[in-house]
Structure 1
Amino acid sequence: MSACTYFGDDAAAALEQWQRGGPTLDFVEALPDGGSGARLAVFHHDGDADHPEHKLLIKLCAPDEGAVTEPYDLDIAWRSGPSFDKGARTFDFPERRLVRQVYPPLAVADTWLMFLGIALDDRGDHELTPLSRLTSSTERAGVAAAVIRSVLSEWNPDPGADHSMTALEFLRRALGHRAAPDSALARTATGLLGADAQRPRITLPGRSASLPNPLCFEGSALAGLKPPTVALGRAHYDLHPGNIMVETIPALVPDAHRFVDLSRFQQQGLLARDPAHLTLCLVCDYLPELGDRALDDLVELLVADAPPDPNEDLLPAGLHTMVRQTRSAPDEWRHRRRYSLTDWRPQYLLALQACALMFVTRRTTERERRWFLELAAHACAAFEGVAKPVPSAPQPPPVSPTEDATPSRPATETPRPTAVRTELERLRPQLAHALGRLSDLRFDRVLDENLRTVIHRCERLERLAAPSSAASADEADDPPWRPVLSTARALRELRNGGDARQDDVERAREQFLVALSALLDDGPNIGTPRSSLR
């Protein structure tokens, strides 16, 4: 098959142009996409002056908001390291655990073609195998535990912390767009619970006891609770067996693994999220064969403070062993960081609640959807038992008659919708990075790519805000991403026009920088106009 036809017409034209006078490609095989919508294939590559002959994995990223930023996210993951990396200690996680972009990405319509190195073992002798292809449950469990240890201990030797994050803030950050009141998760839960979906407590079909509603983000008991602390750091955020490559030739080596698909990489992610998500991915393999009693035992195994005795439940031995291994995998990192179990467990329960809710919309049978919803509710109940109360805000001193009271919020200033606020916080580091480059003359060669990145992200904010905003688009109180979009599009049109005056382009760029700086609200330095950098 020709290298120029596998990915479609737009990609074919781009690849034809890319190969002219340069390296040529020969198709080897197509690879499964893992359900993301991306397309992947392996090609032989005849090499060039900078790259010897080798195989390439070429990936056409899925045309959705998360995936189209993957080249940027992978680049950030490679460059993200602790401050001590500049001193005596070394940080070799990217070299050992990630794959490289061999060539810069190629723009195709609304997405990218990425040219990636093939994942090899540390010696470069053999290609690695996706964890999803391992058939032994014992081997999969061993690899999953090794992966969790490396994500925490190797990728985060310098974890950060947030000591004031509330439970609701944690869930919103973990769930992202799924936390919106009109999300697919909310609609699916309403179909399962009916009127209970809007109440603080729920009673699942076939159950008599009520549980806290894990979906009731506003007005729930979680509004006044918080974990003692929250560990933050580098996180994959889409850690599943298809994104983990492991050495299997000549024998399985669980510690020899690499990660692919960094399209949702977070520099300040919730560290408890990856372990919980990977555990539930492996749990899914067992669900079809479990009876109702065994499913109850599995909830207890995942949620209980001390895992139950394997001789006292109805779970397969492999499932029981896997959960125990993944739950204990963070212990090595905790002990090294002097991080107590009483600090880790509340985060784990919140992450388990959030990840269980993600699977509510991913499973195809009502039985499994209902089970994940019940798991989320039990995790929520367990968290309530170990949470800390949110401290009351100190009351301001009374205003004396001679002092002017603090002006109230203008009537037109309304809080951003929950999902939009969550997404803006997730995108903030990426937007700040793009703004820094757009303000710097040295990066003019990639100005269009950085401008395109900002437009993609602001369009995502606009789409999230549209269904939940009660304000008319004609109202004066425009959301802050609208000026960014309008000025970015105006700058792009001027640059693409070809006959625009340089003064007009400079003026459009400065207007855009001011708008983007206002959106980030990070002070005057980040949006320094181009003219002041000359």
Structure 2
Amino acid sequence: MDDAPDQGLDPAAARALAEWGAHRGHRYEFVKIYTSGRSSAFVAAVLDHDNVGHGSRAVVLKHDRVPVEPGRGDPDYTGTEHMRHRLAYRDAPADFRRHLAEPLDEGPVRVGDSTWIVFQKVAGSLYRHDSLASLREADDPTAFARGCREVVHGMLTGWVQQPKVESTTAAALLGRGLRARFAPGGPLQRAAAQYREETIRFADEQVALANPFALVRGTAPASERPVRIATGVVHGDLHMENVLLPTTPCIEVPDYVLIDLAKSVSEGSLAHDPLHLLLHLAARTLGELSPAARSALLAVMRDGPLGATERALGELPGWLRQTVEAVEPTVDTWLGRFGVDFVWPAQRLLALVEHALTLYGRSSTRPEDRAWFLWLAASAADRYARLDEETPRPGRSGLPRDTAPPAVLAQTPAAPRRGVPNRAAPAPHLDQAPALDPVRPDLVPSGAGATGAWVAALCADLPHILDAATRADENTIADLCRAALRAEDRTADYAALVRRLGGPELDPRLGLPGLTDAAGPGESYVCPLPLACDRRERRTPGIRRPVCHLSADDQPSGGSAGGPMALERGRR
């Protein structure tokens, strides 16, 4: 296990794995790293050498953390990626399990910092299987479209088997999928604060469109309107890389295997997976499309392939048109077998709103494509608002407490504090901050574990924390800022504050290798202060460098003179 830290595995986890392996007479050798930066878990293929039985096998290793149950602080073992995977595999029909990666019962290995190492069998083969993208790269548009259709159809008939129709509201459904992204410090919090009107105007639209953020907040007229949706088991993150196919001696779509079941749920919207697959393709394709084709793709996604005009469909590349025309009608037709296809028009629009907003706020989305996804979310929200549905009774709310978006989003913007942005305006997180100084090697953090993680989180999101806080929280925030500058470990106190404000849980492994987007030397910015701070911000061309909010002379702790310091170009 000497190479484990170099491969990106946390040193504490590497030691725990080595000790556990020594106890069992096993040794582990890294073969391939799969961590992409979008999952909180470190994932790798390793060789498990049995020194007692003198045999070896390949397994998939995951270093996962146990999340804390919101509002309580108790471990939520049902929310781990490994547990979701086990439940999905256990509850799947026996005939369908061959299409799912199989978890292993051995372990888990306790690391001791609320993280565990778990194992699963290799899905298919490390060299004979490739992702669904291999069909796309084979330049056979018909085969790729049929492959997508076969996977979606197989999931519906073999995994879901029969839909269950439930009644909900747009705000409740979208709140379940987007709540963490709208929380203070979340990727959509600043955008939601910026777009607070009932409508948003776009240059290519003659009239203003419905504000999708208002639909999520529950302030739009259509937010509380009852809507029926078809539910069932959902993969949760269906895209080309999460579908493996045998490719040797030839590609065999019927033997596909689904991997990465970390977001699987037993009763989710059945529009989630197929629309996620299509929008994932859109995100990969937008850069190749002409302006006319981009507008046509938006119209096709909004109206669906059965409702889109031939002119719009004709603007799309042949492979993309065939794929869109193959996937969505498959779901519609399957729902029609049970007589519940009437729920599809509204349900698909809400799935578009959720996925488009997610891609709009995702850091990996190209800056020039974010406006397109916001436009799609507004177009879908506007079309949903115009559907002829039942009018809710006055005063009736369909928002369960556990699925409502954070209350902070519905609050009236408060008067701006000195040095803190008004919630009605975008926070000066990246685009309004002073630029950073050239790097000084003595100030580049070397990774400080939990201490560095909470300091980094506080530094990045201090404006949003102050904006969401009440006067009763100001002393606590000032004390935390002083503690951060003294390099004290106040992880628990910081996590309690953020939890009280409705924010996301803090990952104590923030900043450790393999758990964030990999960036080469000079491609990210790091803390300019001599602190135990693991903050790292990826460089974005055309956007000013981010600042260290703990260095501002008007932050609660007093900070340093001269205003906020810019982060520095990192060499590590």
**Which TM-score band (shorter chain)?**
0.5 to 0.7
Change (3 A) 1:145 1:12: same
1:250: which partner in 2? 249
SS at match of 2:108: strand
Return the offset for 1:211.
Answer: 0.5
Greater CA deviation, 24-33 or 263-272?
Answer: 24-33
Deviations 1:376-409 (A, max 9, x none): 11111222233512431699xxxxxxxxxxxxxx
Deviations 1:99-135 (A, max 9, x none): 22252322223322221111117xxx97422234552
Return the offset for 1:167.
Answer: 1.6
SS at match of 1:294: helix
Query: Which of 47, 70, 87 is 2:81 aligned to?
Result: 70
Amino acid at match of 1:184: P
Q: Distance in 2 between matches of 1:255 and 1:319?
A: 21
Change (3 A) 1:19 1:293: same
SS at match of 2:212: coil
1:419 aligns with 2:422: no
Aligned counterparts, 1:115-194, within 5 A: 115-120=119-124, 127-134=128-135, 135-136=137-138, 138=141, 139-163=143-167, 165-180=168-183, 183-188=186-191
1:202: which partner in 2? 200
Amino acid at match of 1:252: I
Root-mean-square deviation over aligned CA pairs: 3.8
Query: Which of 104, 109, 115 is 1:106 aligned to?
Result: 109
Amino acid at match of 1:419: P
Return the offset for 1:352.
Answer: 0.9
Change (3 A) 1:152 1:312: closer
Query: Which of 210, 213, 217 is 1:212 aligned to?
Result: 210
Pick 1 or 2: higher relative contact order, CA cutoff 8 A, min separation 6: 2
Return the offset for 1:76.
Answer: 1.4
Q: Distance in 2 between matches of 1:119 and 1:221?
A: 46
Unaligned segments of structure 2, at least 5 residues: 69-75, 409-461, 475-494, 500-572
Change (3 A) 1:184 1:51: farther
Return the offset for 1:200.
Answer: 0.6
1:386 aligns with 2:387: yes
Aligned counterparts, 1:227-266, within 5 A: 227=227, 229-266=228-265
CA contact (8 A) 2:98 2:257 kept: no
Unaligned segments of structure 1, at least 5 residues: 82-89, 396-414, 423-462, 475-480, 486-534
Deviations 1:178-199 (A, max 9, x none): 2447642141466xxx5xx111
Amino acid at match of 1:265: S
Deviations 1:182-238 (A, max 9, x none): 642141466xxx5xx1111110246442111111133212234233x1112211212
Change (3 A) 1:263 1:416: closer
CA contact (8 A) 2:34 2:43 kept: yes
Q: Distance in 1 between matches of 2:201 and 2:103?
A: 49
Q: Distance in 2 between matches of 1:57 and 1:416?
A: 34
CA contact (8 A) 2:163 2:231 kept: yes
2:22: which partner in 1? 20
Change (3 A) 1:56 1:199: same
CA contact (8 A) 1:277 1:355 kept: yes
Change (3 A) 1:299 1:44: same
Under a length normalisation based on structure 1, what TM-score does the superposition of the two structures give?
Answer: 0.66
SS at match of 1:234: strand
Change (3 A) 1:289 1:386: same
Change (3 A) 1:147 1:283: same
CA contact (8 A) 2:35 2:44 kept: no
Under a length normalisation based on structure 2, what TM-score does the superposition of the two structures give?
Answer: 0.62
1:349: which partner in 2? 349
SS at match of 1:55: strand
Change (3 A) 1:188 1:133: farther
Change (3 A) 1:394 1:371: closer
CA contact (8 A) 1:167 1:225 kept: yes
Change (3 A) 1:226 1:254: farther
Amino acid at match of 1:225: R
Q: Which structure has greater helix proportion? A: 1
Deviations 1:131-172 (A, max 9, x none): 345524634433332222233222112432212x11211211
Amino acid at match of 2:107: P
Amino acid at match of 2:359: F
SS at match of 1:115: strand
Q: Distance in 2 between matches of 1:215 and 1:311?
A: 27
Query: Which of 39, 60, 63 is 2:63 aligned to?
Result: 60
SS at match of 1:100: coil
Aligned length: 401
